[in-house]
Structure 1
Amino acid sequence: MRFVALTLLLGSGSVLADPHPGAGGAPFTVRDENPLLAGFGLPTAMPSHVAEGWAAGMDIFWGSTALLQDRDGEVLLVDAETREARVTLQRPISDRFAWQVQLPYRYTGGGNLDSFIDSWHDFFGLAEGVRPLLPDDQLNIIYVRDGARRLDIRSSANGLADIQAALGYRMHASAESALMAWLSVKLPTGDADKLTGSGATDVSLLLSGLHRLNERWSVFGQGAATWLGDGDLLADQQRSVVWSGMAGVSVQTWRGLSLKAQIDAHTAAYDSDLDFLNEAVVLTVGGDYRFASGWRLDLGVSEDLAVEHSPDVVFLLSLKQSW
């Protein structure tokens, strides 16, 4: 897949961190929760504008994957549940610059979502794939290439994942639109054996933008390039650059409630013919509610638009506040 750069409609003018604090428009801070990619520094959706003071958030992701892929000497079995909690802190340095730090904690194991996912697929008439053939709530990640077993993970593990630190530069801000450039560095604080890190430092450059069409409708997008360091997971198959992007739309429906839909995509991080080790396209739908106190609650669900290129389903919950 070749990622097509996002084009953002941006107004003119200058000022301001958040033109309409009560309005919707902020994207879901999601990314591909593939357990074999989670240790890489692929960026989440980054802000296109920042609050004038401190901002903090907690994002929780709960995903499930069950697949068996076999092609040209490669065999991959992934039967896993992933959970990630990510704390984000953010603050401006000046009227143009801001910093952000993300502290993630990640679990990969058997979990207990399998029966629920089976019911979910039945209710919506979705294909179950290999799920009926696999035991419930067990962890199996096995990868064989050219007769050699490259991965064999059957024990649950959790721990602090790779920390990401970012520096942002406000390129544009007006009452209708905003654009920021970010430099993000992912540090090897996790453990590749536990799938909480890659064992390497990754660097991303990205642009994040938002445009408010009117009082209710907003569109947003992001484009990024990530340079991957020499990691410990399938090191001889790892690529050096991954391109990623996001585009979405938000509509404010009632009081502080906004509904949102966004698509996230990235190119392959590994040299492989298997779908799960290749590019991915993920759809996230849901919404957010902004309370009078300033707290914002996001609820959503992500599905793999490119089937079996990413987890079957990921549920997300986020809580954010600025002061």
Structure 2
Amino acid sequence: MLSHASFAGQPSPFLTRNESPFALIFGLPLASSAQLLNANQSRWISSVNISNTINEQSKNNESLFVDIETLNVNFLYDYGFKENWMLRVQLPYVSNSGGFLDSAIDGYHQALGLPEDVRPFFAQDQIDINVTQNNTTTFSLNSPQSSVGDVSFQVAWQAQQSTQSALSYWLSLKLPTGDARKLTGSGGTDIAAWAAGNYLLTGTQWLYGQTGLLFMSDGDVLKNSQKNWALFGNAGIKFQPWDALELKTQLDFHSAFYDSDIEFLGDVIQLTFGGSYLVSKKHKIDFAIVEDIKNGASPDVNFNISWWVSY
């Protein structure tokens, strides 16, 4: 059973990724821990991401308009089925709608002096997606849609572990259980492989990160421009000022999933910052905010709350 000291030791990354509706459908894995569970240990994680985007772009023969709020709820079950081996099952539920956060996000950007781009020029809390390529509409969505997303199964191997560092290797299979017409799935099967590591800097500071390769089989969304391969990774630092509180900053990136000149369909760099509160020996809660560092390439803002329960 995981102890309070274990929760407060080696870092667990924020369970975030690019929540763009055109990226969420692929098998890009959530940020992963380098330290795995011991044999016969298990945990449940409920992770909620709410992302909000208003984006209008055009270049060459392509144009894109996205006004959407996406609720992405992931239910994860981790189980150490053998010494140094762990299984993860990830079941997502995705809801695309006009949402309710436009006004609050406008105020948030104004308060921090962040760019608002086209936000002031469009009605609030509406859903509208339209992509045109070579004068042909290749994707359109203008009504709320929700369903189970694409389920994934992951296996991880603990290659190295000590009190000062850890290294694990991961393999993921994502299945097309969502609905491409609703932007809750890609319609394809994806495979990802990556390595996750961490390193103790001082008694309260850790570095962590991961890097990997994603293969995306041909899907049903923007078929003519979808790529089959992408690189991804993240890097972060954890600082623990008190036993029950962790503060973390995390940088995530991935290469483009589409062959397009539109920035919203291109390479992504985003910054996550927030903290974790260790409620008890078995419970931990993450709170995080994700901002697009490469402006116009990912959602304007994403809010993450994750609840970890160990057994």
Code of the aligned partner of 1:106: V
Relative to the length of structure 1, the TM-score reads 0.93
Find the partner of 2:97 among 109, 113, 116. 109
Aligned to 1:297: 285
Q: What are the superposed Cα offsets for residues 131-162 of structure 1, whole Å, 9 maximum, x if unpaired?
A: 11111110010111111111111011001000
Q: Distance in 1 between matches of 2:244 and 2:118?
A: 41
Instruction: State the shift of 1:93 in Å.
Output: 1.6
Instruction: State the shift of 1:238 in Å.
Output: 0.7
Range moving further from structure 2, 21-30 or 45-54: 21-30
Instruction: State the shift of 1:56 in Å.
Output: 1.0
Code of the aligned partner of 1:167: V
Code of the aligned partner of 1:65: T
Aligned to 1:129: 117
Aligned to 2:196: 208
Code of the aligned partner of 2:34: S
Code of the aligned partner of 1:149: T
Code of the aligned partner of 1:137: D
Q: What are the superposed Cα offsets for residues 246-303 of structure 1, whole Å, 9 maximum, x if unpaired?
A: 0000000122101000000000000100100000001000010112332111001000
Instruction: State the shift of 1:29 in Å.
Output: 1.2
Code of the aligned partner of 1:89: Y
Aligned to 2:35: 49
Contact 2:12 2:32 in 1 (8 A): no
Code of the aligned partner of 2:29: P
1:31 counterpart = 2:25: no
Contact 2:52 2:70 in 1 (8 A): yes
Percent sequence identity over matched residues? 35
1:314 counterpart = 2:307: no
Find the partner of 1:164 among 152, 158, 172. 152
Find the partner of 2:258 among 270, 278, 289. 270
Q: Distance in 2 between matches of 1:45 and 1:21?
A: 17
Relative to the length of structure 2, the TM-score reads 0.96
Q: Distance in 2 between matches of 1:294 and 1:19?
A: 11
Instruction: State the shift of 1:20 in Å.
Output: 3.6
Q: Which runs of 5+ in 1 are unaligned?
A: 1-15
Code of the aligned partner of 1:153: L
Q: What are the superposed Cα offsets for residues 172-212 of structure 1, whole Å, 9 maximum, x if unpaired?
A: 01111111101100010000001110011100000011112
Q: Distance in 1 between matches of 2:140 and 2:190?
A: 25
Over 3 Å counting, the alpha-carbon distance change for 1:17 and 1:162 in structure 2 is farther
Find the partner of 2:108 among 120, 139, 146. 120
Over 3 Å counting, the alpha-carbon distance change for 1:227 and 1:267 in structure 2 is same
Aligned to 1:259: 247
Q: Which runs of 4 or more aligned residues in structure 1 lie more than 4 Å from their structure 2 counterparts after TM superposition?
A: 16-19
